[in-house]
Amino acid sequence: MTCPNCGSFERFVNEAALDRFEAFESSPPAALDWEELDRREKLLVAERTVRTDKTLDDFDVSSGEPAGDGPTAKQSGAPAESDADGSGA
């Protein structure tokens, strides 16, 4: 969304997803290696558990990149983010 006053572009998060994210931050879920995720991945998990019927059991932490690039939150049965539009690219 672009601010009508200053023209800057910002991404906004659903308030319920932000509340869930903050709850997970204050009390990390035992079902997921929360501390291994980066902020974007944490927000993705929080958003999906709020806005869909997904639960923490639908996610696992695994390395999707070569060693050293860090962990990723993978959603079971979901296409990779780059393929989410169905283009196959």
Predicted structure pTM score: 0.59
Digitized pLDDT (tens) for each residue of the chain, 89 residues in all: 677 777 777 667 788 999 999 999 999 988 888 998 999 889 889 999 898 888 888 887 776 554 444 455 665 554 344 334 444 44
**82 with 67: CB under 8 angstroms?**
no
pLDDT of 26 reads: 96
Decide: 44 and 73 in contact? Cβ < 8 Å.
yes
Q: Per the structure block, which two tokens stand in for 64?
A: 């999707």
